[in-house]
């Protein structure tokens, strides 16, 4: 990084001045601008996800009257897609935008904050994060890595993925090579699949060259521009990612050095970015799905016995994680208690309504 020390010193001085004079001098009038670097895990041309990061930076710049100036670096321009956690943790970069389950190798508890197979949908997940203790627990864990996370979008329900051949029984999972992240990958691995984790920008080539047989990515809005449908025409409905958290994560020292006003502004913009992303997915998924079907894609749902086996295996995965990682246990107990509390209302509310509106 060029001039890191000077910049950092100026930045901290600016933040201190803004803090000390907050009563008399609004942050927007402070002489020193807060210039930050944000790396993402998304290729430069990734719709919705990279677009969300751009929206975050542009909105903050406008609302802070130019005080908070974030420069965005797509995957590979400063650090590799999956190198952002380490770079921000070490203070080489100030912020990253990514997906929380990418860090399950650091600590498997991150999988819970990312969203869970057969788990809560986005409305329930956001309720847990904001009003059920999820964010506080996540931040407690992230602080150990010198990180401070904010909600940076939610994909809503993701599709189960793209397959060259239909899945008719569990035998078709055994030996399957499928790109898959998070706890879903652990389920498939236990059932005999191999599940390499590739960043979004590397999936197509791996699928085209036969390095993998199948892949999941997100949902029609994003998947349509990948080209997966040219190679694998069976598009399965979802089970493994009902509400995946995208995250805006600050280096904790940088976050702590911001003024209260800056922190609150960033918090409000990240909340807006969070709901905005879900709305954008919802809006674009509908038209993209129709286009995919016109292109010859066949939408399928896994056979009931396969889904039952996935669910049973998922419960075994949870038991193993609880036994081996106390951070996972803490995250899971909070998540699962909240989920249990939600289930009755969601059955009466969302689930029943979706049935009722078909009449």
Burial of 133 (C-beta count, 10 Å sphere; 0-12/13-18/19+): middle
Cα separation, 308 vs 187, in Å, equals 12
Calculate the CA 86 to chain-centre distance: 17
94 vs 241, beta carbon nearer Ca ion: 241
Cβ atoms of 212 and 206 closer than 8 Å: yes
State residue 161 phi and psi, 5-degree precision: 120, 180
What backbone torsions phi and psi does residue 147 show, to the nearest 5 degrees? -125, 155
For Ca ion (CB under 5 A), the number of binding residues is 3
Binding characters for Ca ion, 223-242, by CB under 5 A (x = yes): ------------------x-
HEC string of 10-45 equals HHHHHHHHHHHCCCCCCHHHCCCCEEEEEEECCCCC
d(CA 317, CA 348): 29
CB closer to Ca ion, 213 vs 216: 216
Measured from the CB of residue 67, what is the shortest distance to Ca ion in angstroms? 35
Binding piece for Ca ion, criterion CB under 5 A, among 41-49, 124-132, 214-222, 301-309? 214-222
Nearer to Ca ion, 162 or 339 (CB): 162
- On whether the CB atoms of residues 106 and 141 are closer than 8 A, the answer is no
Shortest Cβ 151–Ca ion spacing (Å): 17
Cβ proximity to Ca ion, 93 vs 183, nearer residue: 183
At closest approach, how far in Å is the CB of 111 from Ca ion? Answer: 13
* Shortest Å distance, C-beta 309 to Ca ion: 21
Q: Residue 131 Cβ, how far from Ca ion at the closest point, in Å?
A: 26
Please state, in angstroms and rounded to a whole number, the distance separating the CA atoms of residues 343 and 234.
Answer: 31
Nearer to Ca ion, 59 or 278 (CB): 278
Max CA-CA distance within the chain?
A: 70
H or E element, residue 327: helix 326-346
3-class SS at 177? Answer: strand
For Ca ion, the closer CB: 226 or 334: 226
| Residue closer to Ca ion (CB basis): 236 or 250 | 236
Task: State the minimum distance, in angstroms, from the CB of residue 114 to Ca ion.
Answer: 10
Binding mask 170-209 for Ca ion (x = CB under 5 A): ----------------------------------------
* 150 vs 243 by CB, closer to Ca ion: 243
Stretch that binds Ca ion, among 145-153, 213-221, 255-263, 337-345 (CB under 5 A): 213-221
Min dist. Cβ of residue 216 to Ca ion (A): 5
Question: Per DSSP, which regions of the chain are E strands?
Answer: 34-40, 68-73, 95-99, 147-154, 161-163, 178-179, 214-215, 234-236, 245-251, 298-300
* Closer by beta carbon to Ca ion, 225 or else 267: 225
Q: Cβ 8 to Ca ion, closest distance in Å?
A: 35
Contacts of 301 (CB under 8 A, 6+ apart): 236, 237
Closest approach of Cβ 19 to Ca ion, in Å? 40
Restricted to residues 80-119, the positions that interact with Ca ion (CB under 5 A) are: none
CA atoms of 167 and 115, how far apart (whole Å): 24
123 to 162, contacts with Ca ion by CB under 5 A? Answer: 158
Residues in the site for Ca ion, rule: CB under 5 A? 158, 216, 241
């Amino acid at each position: 990084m060029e001039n890191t020390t000077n910049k950092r010193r100026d930045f901290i001085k600016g933040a201190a001045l803004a803090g000390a004079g907050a009563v008399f001098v609004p942050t927007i009038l402070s002489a020193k601008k807060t210039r930050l670097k944000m790396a993402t895990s998304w290729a430069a041309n990734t719709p919705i996800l990279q677009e969300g990061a751009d929206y975050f930076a542009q909105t903050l710049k406008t609302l802070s009257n130019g005080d908070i100036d974030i420069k965005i670096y797509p995957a590979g321009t400063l650090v590799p897609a999956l190198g952002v956690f380490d770079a921000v943790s070490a203070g080489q970069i100030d912020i990253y935008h990514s997906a929380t389950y990418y860090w399950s190798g650091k600590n498997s508890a991150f999988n819970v904050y990312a969203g869970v197979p057969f788990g809560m949908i986005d409305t329930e997940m956001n309720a847990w994060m904001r009003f059920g203790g999820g964010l506080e627990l996540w931040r407690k864990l992230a602080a150990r890595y010198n990180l401070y996370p904010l909600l940076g979008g939610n994909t809503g329900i993701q599709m189960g993925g793209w397959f060259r051949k239909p899945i008719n029984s569990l035998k078709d999972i055994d030996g399957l090579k499928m790109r898959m992240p998070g706890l879903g990958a652990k389920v498939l691995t236990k059932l005999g699949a191999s599940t390499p984790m590739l960043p979004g920008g590397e999936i197509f080539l791996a699928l085209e060259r036969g390095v993998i047989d199948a892949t999941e990515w997100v949902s029609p809005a994003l998947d349509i521009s990948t080209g997966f449908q040219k190679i694998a025409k069976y598009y399965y409905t979802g089970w493994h990612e009902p509400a995946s958290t995208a995250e805006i994560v600050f280096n904790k020292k940088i976050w702590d050095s911001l003024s209260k006003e800056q922190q609150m502004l960033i918090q409000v913009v990240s909340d807006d970015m969070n709901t905005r992303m879900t709305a954008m997915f919802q809006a674009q998924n509908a038209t993209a799905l129709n286009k995919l079907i016109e292109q010859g894609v066949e939408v399928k749902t896994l056979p009931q016995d396969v889904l039952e086996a996935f669910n049973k295996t998922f419960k075994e995965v949870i038991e193993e994680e609880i036994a081996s990682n106390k951070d996972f246990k803490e995250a899971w107990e909070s998540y699962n208690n909240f989920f249990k509390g939600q289930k009755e209302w969601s059955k009466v509310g969302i689930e029943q309504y979706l049935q009722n509106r078909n009449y």
